[in-house]
Structure 1
Amino acid sequence: MKANGLSQPLAKALNDQMTNEARNAQMYLAYASWASENEYTGIANFLFRHVNERRNYMMKFLEYILKRGAKVVVKAIPAPGPDPISINDCFEKIFTSEVENISKIYAIVNMSMAEKDWATFSFMQWFIKEQTEEETLEMDLLNKIKAAEDPDAKDDDTAYALDKDLVETPAMPHWHRM
């Protein structure tokens, strides 16, 4: 016999977040494909690595829901929307998605606190740390991209250098992977 250790609202919120992580993976996949088609090889590689990272997040939610004895509900993933129109647009959209994602994660944390579900509260701490690091990484990249796209920039090769740098840049900073 399986005990359901999650309340119905918390199970729904976790399932919704699992779907959101799958949607984010699809967004990264679409944008990585766009970057590749536009010959931004470094940016494409960087975004393709994020696809796998988001899929892993999705699986963490799935496994947690199962461990707690609740039902996993797999839903259709919404389309990622139109392709970016520029590198800046690409990363602006990604940053917006990251900000939306952290608000959803905070909502689950708040719900787990209200229900005194300390196991879920503890589980979600890892995602808070991840999202904070993601936002910082995206803000740093946006600053570099804005410098690269600045028409008054003295160096015409800045966009090329950024693309080249992202070939080796991990999805998350090396200090994060422990």
Structure 2
Amino acid sequence: MLNEKVVKLLNSQINKEFYSAYLYLDMANYYAKEGLSGFENWFVIQAQEERDHAMLFRQYLLNNGHEVKFEAIADPSKEYKGYKEPLEAALAHEQYVTDSINKIYDAAMEVKDYRTRQFLDWFVKEQGEEEMNAEDNIRKFVLAGDGKGLFLLDQHFQARTYAAPSLVLD
């Protein structure tokens, strides 16, 4: 059995991951409304990844004999003031998620929960990639500018495809 503090944090992370999916779908909706289907695609895929992360945390708790408790998911709807704002909000959100996962890792370290630490290692690496991708999207946006550059970046984002996570749960 896992430590109850760690279980509580893992349950909370499930809800944070589902919220992340909602948030990214809201961003996708914004870009769809603006006619940027590539940006929309990028965030729809990001939402799928976040949902998968929630499901991995869920399965980990179940595999370790713990109950999963879902909380209400807050409404992520926001009015954006330009194409760059959702990209910046995505980076800030990924930094928030990284901090949350690090807190779970710290709690697991305190109680010498090696199994959970090993499970979280994948998420620590994944969050590094998530933050890097969000930073890259902002850099690309700044480089692209308006007009033809924005169109080309939108086409680039349209090419993104979904890939299921490769984490194997014991």
User: Normalised by the size of structure 2, how large is the TM-score?
Assistant: 0.92
Aligned-partner Cα distance in 1 for 2:166–2:154: 23
Q: Partners of 1:17 and 1:39 in 2: how far apart?
A: 33
* Aligned counterpart, 2:108: 112
The C-alpha deviation readout for 1:113-147, integer Å capped at 9, x for no partner, is: 11100000000000011110011111111011122
Q: Is the 8 A contact 1:21 1:58 kept in 2?
A: yes
> After superposition, what is the alpha-carbon deviation per residue over 1:12-50, rounded to whole angstroms, capped at 9, x for unaligned?
100010000000000011110111111001000111111
Partner of 1:153: none
The answer (yes or no) to whether the contact 1:18–1:59 under 8 Å persists in 2 is yes
1:15 to 11, 21, 34: 11
Between the aligned partners of 1:20 and 1:59, the Cα distance in structure 2 is 12
In 1, Cα distance between the equivalents of 2:59 and 2:166?
A: 21
Alignment gaps of 5+ in structure 1: 151-155
Superposition map of 1:141-156 within 5 A: 141-149=137-145, 156=147
If asked which structure has higher relative contact order (CA below 8 Å, sep 6+), I would say 2
RMSD: 1.7
Per-residue deviation, residues 86-113 of structure 1 (Å, max 9, x unmatched): 2210100000000000000001111111
Structure 2 residue matching 1:42: 3-state secondary structure: helix
> Unmatched 5+ residue regions in structure 2?
none
2:158 pairs with 1:167: yes
**How many residues matched?**
166
> Are 1:134 and 2:130 counterparts?
yes
Distance 1:177 1:149 in 2: 35
The offset of 1:177, in angstroms, is 6.8
For 2:161 and 2:139, how far apart are their aligned partners in 1? 18
User: Which deviations, in whole Å up to 9, do the C-alpha atoms of 1:47-68 show, x marking residues without a partner?
Assistant: 1111111110000000001111
2:149 aligned with 1:158, yes or no? yes
Corresponding letter in the other structure for 2:33: E
Q: Kindly state the Cα deviation for residue 83 of structure 1 after the two structures are TM-superposed.
A: 3.0
Structure 1 CA distance for aligned equivalents of residues 56 and 79 of structure 2 = 28
Give the match's secondary structure for 1:92. Answer: helix
Q: What is the identity, as a one-letter code, of the residue corresponding to 2:105?
A: V
Select the structure of larger CA radius of gyration.
Answer: 1
> 1:43 touches 1:167 (CA, 8 Å); kept in 2?
yes
**Cα contact 1:15–1:74 (8 A) shared by 2:** yes
Q: Which secondary structure does the structure 1 equivalent of 2:71 belong to?
A: coil
Higher mean alpha-carbon deviation, 22-31 vs 161-170, is at 161-170
- Matched-pair contact (CA < 8 Å) for 1:98–1:131: yes
Q: Quick check: 1:43 aligned with 2:34?
A: no
